[in-house]
Chain A
């Protein structure tokens, strides 16, 4: 018998240890010991959680098995349960106290529900399935889902991003009875590519350049092999992401409306298709619910999975063929928590038995909990009628994927798991729904003040300078590594225009079997959030919606996703910033009638460096999908004709905060522009009328770099030079030249119209901020901007384009 003092916290309490599972005597442990056990088992459960579990088992008059504790840890993990978005938060804004009972319910779900109700039949599914669906036409629906894979990508950029995309593709395959993935987006936040090693204040952190190259190749190799076009994306560079890079991956799908609803019933068989199960990816869900440190780069390697896109491609071909034959009753993906989450999700109401002896393993010798929670990639879990099994087996053979019968749904309401003849888990899932509500504190105090704009001595030089900024330079080297045209449906490509290399706002996909199309866009503005998270949230929703509308989508038929990342939720200031961000997105989404149909959050993106913890700023990604009524409505962002006139929609504010210009000119804490959402919404609807009438040749949103950058980008199509006069620009009375040229006020679009249409378009915008800006010209190939009689900018477009095109190419 070993000396109890030398035993670890698990061995001390393991009763009747079998070789593949153990019963753990937790009933007489105190809070400290319970927490110690949680840490030792890497459960990421708090003291309160462990005490709650102890109480549940006391009620059941028994002790848990290690498998059960692992299942509960997965179920209650931040990754799966979004405990912080459900928490009660004592919040304080500029000294005023308020209580938020569940950010999710108050600002996401309730706002969206009101929008659903106002547009009956448009949102067909939201929040409960793997992805939210909106109606495309009478037959088809489209969906979009985005996820983060930050921690794995920090430790192993290639594999982390690879499986990040692989995972979200499975979300789509598991949405409804199996949606077909049709397009992907990826959004990254990295440290600057030119970060010096001295600026990295911890050991074993991968240089941002290494992270960027690994992540891009990871996305490339999964998306390209799966044959899903990667059509939309963004990259933000900031020092705060050196230790915790962010990797968002998203995928859109299409499904027949009749295949959205799914239900599991007693007697159905639970099967797994795709890859085998191994020790890779243990504790991914709980690992992502904790902070990183230097040791993570050593010890958490096991939590990063290995991707095999061809395995997933075979499974995908199988799933879509099986769905078309009506053989699938229920399907979900194996993501965080592996079979425990997938089977748990399926059987939580119905109940049933899973036999781990049936699971095909990559290597022998896995103990029960390892088999049940392994996050090995490329697995889908389905519920099917027993009578369908023979045909499903044939299909699996045809597509060369492995099909395994895991168990049976039985209507008992109990999730029972057997292994080697023992029952290793027997849980009444209905008792586990309510993880203890967390109680948190948030605080936010205004950080911005009006700042006098710098005197612009040489606006042309300032513009050149902006075109070298990492925030603005062309992403072409990366975009070209992604196959963005596979499936043959990419109508508006990420790079387009007459020379095929000019930036676009949204990307547009044709949908096979429909006359309608789908636009996809993304928006994130982390710089704004550092000083004004509410304004960031508001502006992100605005920008995402604006890009969809600019591409020709119907403003009444949009849906958006909210994906949050932040540092330490236990730090009041950080959580306060999150609360403000959520309020911002909710407010504008409600005005625009753009419902949230899915969302995800990632916490603990902070790193213990030698000089203390470094957190990322609260970062919200808003991604969106919009329905385009017909192909003739698709609108690009590049100048098309040399006889066109240009006009601006939207108001230019004097604020410079959050802008790339402010960053480059050392302007700190300047107030950021607010989103005039009511006015913007009117403008977007008018814009859509103009699109339908065929008045809009092209339209480009004003975003990073402001109006001057937007104009130049439009003209990067090489069709003409531009003669612009800002004298009638709708703006604040005190807007400086810097604000006019480089301010980043939201809700603005520059449009290109034929000369004969300008008056009609102007009529449409009567009473709204709208002004003619100038014209295209063949007289020169410059961007020439005047303000009354004064020339502000007169720069050759070719020079600006060259700066823009080469800025990132040196690093990637």
Chain B
């Protein structure tokens, strides 16, 4: 009997971080299935502990990023996914996955729009961990770095006050320490009220090993791991605890 928790990673046409995200999930102890979305149906969520939407350009992101993928997901498993969350399932969206989640009403209201720079930005950013009790961030330090790579990562809300409210409510789990892309309140990652849905723009799967850091002398690589490892590790531990 397989005692590792199961993760299901949805692959849309244009999803391109699936391999390394699956690798990261496997590294911390998940059994991972990468599922092309053409084969997605509600039954696929049976026995799954974690649904992952990874980075990429789903359907090219030619209309608003994540838009078509969110419609396809809604149409195929919309209600099932909400039931999945309500019944204790975890959902993680990274970059394009975060963009898709914001349009599935699984996260507090907000849109990820074009960066204030008007450009694609591939760089490393530092973030503050504002939700050290989150199952996604419990093993992450108070401040840590991850790489970003996106053109549409600026989180905006209808009213600026809403974003400020996310800081108070704890929904803003991760914020950039510096101005990066024009996000309201420098928000980099959001979590929902259940605490089991989390979306972030940075790429934890790209910083699994200390040596992935741009500085060969980076000091922080406990056990040779990078900061991204601890995010996946947190999640794995939370799920294992929940199952125990």
Contact = CB atoms under 8 A, between A and B. Distances in A.
B144 interface: no
Interface string A197-241: 000000000000000000000001000111100000000000000
A481 interface: yes
28 contacts: A225-B16, A227-B17, A227-B56, A308-B60, A309-B57, A310-B14, A310-B57, A398-B36, A398-B38, A399-B36, A399-B38, A400-B38, A480-B121, A481-B121, A481-B122, A482-B120, A483-B149, A485-B122, A490-B212, A496-B214, A496-B215, A498-B215, A498-B217, A499-B215, A631-B211, A634-B216, A640-B216, A640-B217
A636 interface: yes
A488 B214 contact: no
Contacts of A500: 123-124, 214-215
Given A225-B60, A227-B56, A310 B214 contact: no
A486 B17 contact: yes
A713 to B, nearest CB: 15
A215 to B, nearest CB: 15
Nearest to A717: B215
Nearest to A228: B16
Give 10 closest A-B pairs by Cβ, nearest first: A227-B16, A488-B20, A500-B214, A310-B60, A483-B149, A225-B57, A496-B214, A488-B206, A310-B14, A498-B215
B119 A481 contact: yes
A311 B24 CA distance: 27
B186 interface: no
Interface string B13-45: 110110110011000000000001011000000
B185 interface: no
A631 B216 CA distance: 11
A805 interface: no
B16 A480 contact: no
A482 B55 CA distance: 15
Contacts of B56: 227
Nearest to B61: A225
A212 to B, nearest CB: 14
Which of A314, A400, A488, A500 has the most B CB atoms < 10 Å from its CB? A488
A754 to B, nearest CB: 13
B147 interface: yes
B160 to A, nearest CB: 27
B39 A398 contact: yes
A313 B17 contact: no
Contacts, number: 104
B203 interface: yes
Contacts of B192: none
A487 B149 CA distance: 12
A491 interface: yes
Give the bracket for the number of chain A residues in contact with chain B: 35 or more
Given A313-B13, A488-B205, A483 B38 contact: no
B59 interface: yes
A714 to B, nearest CB: 13
A512 B215 contact: no
B16 A485 contact: no
A399 B35 CA distance: 10
Interface string A490-502: 1101011111100
B187 interface: no
Contact of B23 (A399, A488, A495): A488
Given A488-B205, A512-B19, 20 more contacts: A309-B57, A313-B16, A314-B13, A314-B14, A398-B36, A400-B13, A480-B120, A481-B120, A481-B121, A484-B122, A485-B122, A485-B147, A486-B55, A487-B17, A488-B17, A488-B20, A488-B203, A488-B208, A499-B215, A631-B211
Nearest to B39: A398
A398 B36 CA distance: 6
A493 B149 CA distance: 14
Interface of B: 11, 13-14, 16-17, 19-20, 23-24, 36, 38-39, 55-57, 59-60, 119-124, 147, 149, 203, 205-206, 208, 211-212, 214-217
Given A227-B56, A480-B123, A482-B122, A310 B13 contact: yes
A153 to B, nearest CB: 20
A183 B235 CA distance: 30
A634 B217 CA distance: 13
B206 to A, nearest CB: 5
A631 B56 CA distance: 27
A495 B211 CA distance: 15
B177 to A, nearest CB: 14
Contact of A224 (B36, B120, B123, B208): B120
Nearest to B207: A488
A310 B60 CA distance: 6
Contacts of B211: 491, 631, 634
A397 interface: yes
A604 B122 CA distance: 36
Given A313-B14, A488-B208, A495 B214 contact: yes
Say what secondary structure dominates the interface of chain A. loop
A192 to B, nearest CB: 22
A495 B215 CA distance: 10
A164 B59 CA distance: 21
A223 to B, nearest CB: 10
A399 B124 CA distance: 32
A323 to B, nearest CB: 15
B206 A485 contact: yes
A485 B14 CA distance: 17
Contacts of A498: 215, 217
B122 to A, nearest CB: 5
A481 B149 CA distance: 8
Nearest to B216: A636
Interface string A632-663: 00101000110000000000000000000000
A631 B210 CA distance: 12
Contacts of A485: 122, 147, 149, 203, 206
A768 B67 CA distance: 62
Nearest to A180: B19
Contacts of B203: 485, 488
Most A CB contacts (10 A, CB to CB) among B24, B39, B216 go to: B216
A264 to B, nearest CB: 29
A227 B18 CA distance: 10
Residue of A310, A498, A641 most packed against chain B (CB within 10 A): A310
Contacts of B205: 488
Contacts of B120: 220, 224, 480-483
Nearest to A309: B60
A225 B147 CA distance: 17
Given A310-B59, A313-B16, A493 B214 contact: yes
Contacts of A308: 60
A403 to B, nearest CB: 14
Contact of B214 (A398, A481, A489, A497): A497
Given A400-B38, A483-B149, A225 B14 contact: yes
Contacts of A641: 217
Interface string A318-352: 00000000000000000000000000000000000
A640 B217 CA distance: 7
Contacts of B13: 310, 313-314, 399-400
A486 B14 contact: no
A488 B95 CA distance: 14
A631 B11 CA distance: 31
Contact of A487 (B19, B38, B59, B121): B19
Contacts of A496: 214-216
Nearest to B214: A500
A641 B216 CA distance: 11
Contacts of A483: 120, 122, 149
B215 A497 contact: yes
Interface string A729-748: 00000000000000000000
Q: Which of B14, B24, B119 has the most CB of A within 10 A?
A: B14
Nearest to A401: B13
A479 B124 CA distance: 13
Contacts of B39: 398
Contacts of A491: 211-212
